[in-house]
């Protein structure tokens, strides 16, 4: 489909908050246009069922991430790959050249635009909550990356390290409330999923070209992301 035809199809020729960014992405990237055309039914359905403003921002971050990834010629994408029946899958299967595929899950940390002083240490807890809620989607025998977008404030490297250590500590102490909240039976099951996590990227949702982001690499990862792939991924998301 041509760009205008895709826009009409995706939005049913109705006004929508995502029309302008989608138009910009489509007109500036043939590869993104091909991606949207391939997955147009899935994207159209998401647009139609996504109504509230927060969920629309989540979807925008997903699509922006896809756009950025496809600026790298060595990367190609599958949107929400169906890996197993009745199993949630990550947002993207990302293939580097033809040699390696890793999984990328995108989530957005909702801060509700509260000022920093009102959030206090709770921001680290929200970050940990966002990560834990995604562990069940990570894929066995693959590198898995979680990209976390943050609207209003930034997490430092120390904030992230502290949050991840706190999360591990609760699991190591076999905290039953912690396991119940995230659907893990016990410590063994938690760490089986936790070790599938290769790394986390944290970035502002309105990142400008060249803007830095925070990275946490899991020292317990069974399959780390190869350095050559990491370089391309970071470049795509950093501008």
The whole-model pTM stands at 0.91
> Which residues are registered as beta bridge partners of 201?
147, 215
CB-side neighbour CA atoms (13 Å) of 84:
10
DSSP annotation of 72 reads S
Using DSSP bridges, classify how beta strands 92-96 and 197-204 pair: parallel, antiparallel or unpaired. unpaired
pLDDT at residue 126, as a whole number: 86
Share of the chain above pLDDT 90, in %: 74
What are the mean pLDDT values of the chain's consecutive 10-residue runs (239 residues total)? 92 94 96 97 94 91 96 96 74 94 93 46 81 94 95 80 93 94 94 97 72 88 96 88
Query: What CA–CA distances, in Å, run from 38 to 33, 43, 235?
Result: 9, 10, 25
Q: 61-98 pLDDT, tens per residue? A: 999 999 999 999 999 999 999 766 667 789 999 999 98
């Amino acid at each position: 489909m041509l760009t205008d035809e895709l826009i009409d199809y995706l939005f049913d020729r109705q006004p929508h908050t995502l029309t302008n960014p989608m138009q910009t992405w489509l007109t500036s990237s043939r590869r993104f246009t091909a991606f949207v055309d391939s997955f147009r039914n899935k994207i159209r359905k998401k647009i139609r069922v996504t109504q509230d403003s927060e969920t629309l921002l989540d979807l925008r971050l997903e699509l922006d991430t896809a756009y950025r990834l496809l600026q790298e010629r060595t990367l190609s994408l599958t949107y929400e790959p169906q890996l197993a029946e009745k199993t949630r899958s990550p947002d993207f299967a990302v293939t580097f050249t033809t040699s390696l595929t890793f999984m990328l899950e995108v989530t957005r940390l909702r801060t509700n635009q509260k000022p920093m002083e009102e959030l206090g240490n709770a921001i680290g807890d929200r970050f940990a909550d966002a990560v834990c809620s995604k562990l069940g989607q990570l894929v066995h025998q693959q590198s898995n990356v979680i990209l976390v977008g943050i609207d209003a404030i930034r997490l430092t490297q120390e904030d992230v390290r502290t949050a991840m250590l706190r999360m591990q500590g609760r699991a190591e102490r076999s905290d039953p409330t912690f396991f119940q909240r995230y659907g893990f039976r016990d410590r063994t099951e938690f760490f089986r999923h936790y070790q599938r996590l290769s790394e986390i990227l944290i970035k502002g949702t309105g990142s400008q070209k060249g803007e830095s982001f925070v990275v946490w690499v899991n020292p317990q990862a069974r399959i780390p992301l190869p350095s050559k792939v990491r370089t391309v991924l970071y470049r795509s998301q950093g501008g």
